[in-house]
Structure 1
Amino acid sequence: MQRPSPGLLYKSFEFYGLPLIRSLTGTSLFMEERGLKVFAPEEEEPDKESEVFFNEKMLNNRDLSQIAVKVFRKRAGLEEEFRVADAMAASGIRGFRYGEYATDLHLNDVNPEAVEAIVKGLDENGIDATVHEEDANVFLSEFGNYFHFIDVDPFGSFTKFLDSTARAANHTSFVGLTSTDNAAPAGSYPTVCERRYGSKPIKNDFMHEIGLRIYLKEVFQNFARFDKCFDPKVCFHERHYTRIMGRVTESKKRTNKALENVGYLSYCGNCLWRKFERVKECPECGEETQEAGPLWTGKFVDQRFTSEMLEDMPEEWEAYEFLEKLDAEAEIITPYYDIHALASNIGTSSPKRKEFIEALREKGYPVERTHFSPTGVKTDAPIQDLKDVIRDLKA
């Protein structure tokens, strides 16, 4: 379909053949990002109330998402035909950035003011797209097994959009999901977490990794109900949000195999031991353990995928260093340790993270910085060895 002339909104009902065109009211330039112009309704001001419309602090998220989409498209061999949907486009900046790779780009938002700004941005940036003004679930449900990439970036949790996303995802596709509902899966509201996500959380020093793994379990199980396997590629937590990105394949066999990555975490609040299995009594100190789950117990980053992302991402982007951390910690499954929590547990002050990492490596253990926390490390070293290293460093 041909996009309308500048200044007009094209709302497409492709399944019904009922195109609707209406006039565009005033918009003003709001921001520029990576060479693309972003517009907002004239009454909008760049304050806290407009962060839902365009949040500058989500730049890393958008940078990582754009490069992830580029890598997936190349790996999947979809250069000739690549159908993309931004289901909750707001200002449209995510969709604008994906437009470089899309052969069929669809931007949707239920807010008419957002739609006006999207159309203005498409015209000014010279991007071809079909714009929709619908509820995200309605929009996605109209495109069964159609899109090669779907981005869902709501205010709050993405879970209410999982079914429609799974239906709209092609048998070979990529999905990006953002959630700002982190308090519940991170353990601040355990009852809410059990109600919304069917999992029990634990509030501790690595609660954000638990929250991410609860989200991943929820995504995997929702796609599995449609005989589609969700394979995590780049998943992370930053500041106030969690981002889940992964490949979708329509395969009962792959889905059945991946079920082994859904399980439980046992954690000892007394000595800080943790392991992905159901254990009632801590093997280190004998205390009763706490249990989190069900949750995702496998990898949440595919190092082969992130290595390719690093090759494609400009090193001067702030997201590059963040991606380096994700890439480095990808192969270590055990939930991260907070050095301050370990030191406090044995009644001493915390060593510097760099010294702690070097000491563990000298002992032959795999250890990396984690993106979750500036005082955290990922390692498979036994808990007592971690404490012994701290004692030696503080002796």
Structure 2
Amino acid sequence: MSCLPLDALPIYLSTLFCPKPKALHSKLIINPCKSHLQSERGLQFDVGDTFFRRESATGRDLGVLSAALRRNSEGSLRVLDAMCGCGIRSLRYLEEANADFVLANDANDCIRGIILGNLSRVSRDSSERWAVTHSDATRVLTECYLKRDYFDFIDVDSFGSDSSFLRAAVGAVKFGGMLYVTSTDGYSSGGNRPGRCLAAYGAYVQRMPYSNEIGLRMLIGGVIREALTAGHHVVPLFSYYSYHGPVFRVLLKINNGLPSDQRHYGFVSYCSQCGDSRAFPWEELGKVSCSCVANVREHSPAVSGPVWTGPLHKESHLREMLNLANEWGWIGNDTGRDLEKLLNQMIDECDPNLPVGYIKVDEIASRAKVNSPPLNSILTSLQKRGYAASRSHIASNAIKTNCRMDGCVRIVKELQQPG
């Protein structure tokens, strides 16, 4: 019990003597482990020997803000943290999102003491507000579905390209609820293992210069596939990429009923000759080509899909997140600049005229055979000419625009001319 904080002792004793412990694993032995205290948003917690990435705090911020918005709109909040690790996400959902109940699950029962110790730090009476289980994520999600024990917010912070839990997760979310999923397989989204992508997400992904955006779209597409089989449809609320890991995180709203159309679940092509990309639906799958290399087989565009080809975020949801972050003091007054910048960039990316993908400034300059001009200068020039244009939160040296590559090249050349 060397890693169990004193304030967790009553919880530990209750697991030993309570005749009917609620949702607790049959193994009640709390394994000793080293204590490694951390702090996040003013909350202290112990990571012990668990895997913990401090850089993922932003992803946790986004999840907490969204969960709190769900509680504000519905009046209650039940959260399932299916792969909780040390329990920091569960703790934050309880303390910051004011969840009425959190089920913290992790398959590794060796870290039980760490989880119990961290959740015992909840300020309000916690006897009915949380429970800890130790099951495979798919199993706990399936059991919740079979018991009709649905949740408002389900967070599955998985590793690699594990997608085996997606169908069970979709089934365990309340209609109108939120599903927060993860991938850390940047190698596959880069087009290096198309077979793996096909097995995990039902999408064949080839190499494209905006592979990290494809990673997000592939993850959304994987959830869409499972939701469609259950007669549901999904709405992406936000999509977040972090190079630490890398980590792909997507929050989706799960709605009952099939979508009225599926035009945003299709394919993406990229032509390496001219640098243009476009999205196209299933019915055009046999007509994929690029006008610059028409009928030239050896230069045919690379095609990836099916993936999500619609907006990566819902603007109204992001604005509500931004307002709540300001209300909580997470941004403004020279604080939280990174979070505020991220949310504002995501809002800019919501422009419905922006296509799939982004263009790196270095690629434009290379095609123009000039030095790279300031990114803001390119954005301003594009917008003055009536094009939709924004930064990409995914790549700091890239822009999203509906201007074709040759148009971007002309603009960059003009920016190099004196006067």
TM exceeding 0.5 = yes
Please report how far the alpha carbon of residue 129 of structure 1 lies from its aligned counterpart in structure 2 after TM superposition: 0.7
Contact 2:170–2:179, Cα closer than 8 Å, also in 1: no
Say if 1:150 and 1:176, in contact at 8 Å, map to a contact too: yes
Distance 2:214 2:404 in 1: 19
Query: Out of 122, 127, 142, which is 1:125 matched to?
Result: 122
Matches within 5 A, 1:104-115: 104-115=101-112
8 Å CA contact 1:9, 1:119 repeated in 2: no
Report the equivalent of 2:307. 295
CA offset digits 1:150-191 (Å, max 9, x no partner): 000012224111011012111221010111012112212223
User: AA paired with 2:85?
Assistant: A
Cα distance in 2 for partners of 1:217, 1:242 equals 13
Alignment of 1:166-245 (within 5 A): 166-239=170-243, 240-245=246-251
User: In the alignment, is the contact (CA less than 8 A) between 1:37 and 1:125 conserved in 2?
Assistant: no
Aligned to 2:271: 268
With the length of structure 2 as denominator, give the TM-score of the two structures: 0.84
Question: Is the CA contact (8 Å cut-off) linking 1:15 and 1:142 kept in structure 2?
Answer: no
> Which residue is equivalent to 2:67?
69
**1:157 — aligned with what?**
161
Instruction: Check conservation: 1:186, 1:202, Cα contact below 8 A.
Output: yes
1:87 aligned to 2:90? no
1:148–1:355 distance in 2 versus 1, CA, 3 Å: same
Task: Find the aligned partners of 2:53 and 2:13 in 1 and give their Cα distance.
Answer: 26
Please give the per-residue CA displacement for 1:39-60, whole angstroms capped at 9, x wherever unaligned: 234xx3xxxxx5xx22101011
TM-score by length of 1: 0.88
Aligned to 2:99: 102
Q: Which moved more, 1:270-279 or 1:88-97?
A: 270-279
Compute the displacement of 1:19 (Å). Answer: 7.5
Change over 3 Å in CA distance of 1:158–1:307 after alignment to 2: farther
What secondary structure does 1:266 align onto? strand
Counting aligned pairs with the same residue, the percent is 25
In the TM superposition, what are the counterparts of 1:215-364 in structure 2 within 5 Å? 215-239=219-243, 240-251=246-257, 255-277=258-280, 278=285, 279-286=287-294, 287-313=299-325, 314-315=330-331, 316-317=335-336, 318-331=338-351, 332-364=354-386
Equivalents in 1 of 2:251, 2:171: separation in Å?
17
Distance in 2 (alpha carbons) for counterparts of 1:162 and 1:230: 13
Question: Which 10-residue stretch deviates more, 258-267 or 385-394?
Answer: 258-267
1:292 is displaced (CA, Å) by 1.2
Within 1, Cα distance between the matches of 2:367 and 2:290? Answer: 16
* Gap runs ≥5 in structure 2: 1-7
Q: Secondary structure at the match of 1:381?
A: coil
Residues in 2 aligned to 1:293 and 1:57: alpha-carbon distance in whole angstroms: 30
Aligned residue number for residue 4 of structure 2: none
CA deviation digits over 1:316-344, x for unaligned, max 9? 22322112111111122332111111221
User: What's the CA shift string for 1:95-115, capped at 9, x where partnerless?
Assistant: 111113211211001112322
Matched with 1:392 is 414
What is the RMSD computed on CA atoms of the aligned residues? 2.6
Q: How many residues align?
A: 378
Aligned to 1:143: 144
> 1:36–1:125: 8 Å Cα contact kept in structure 2?
no
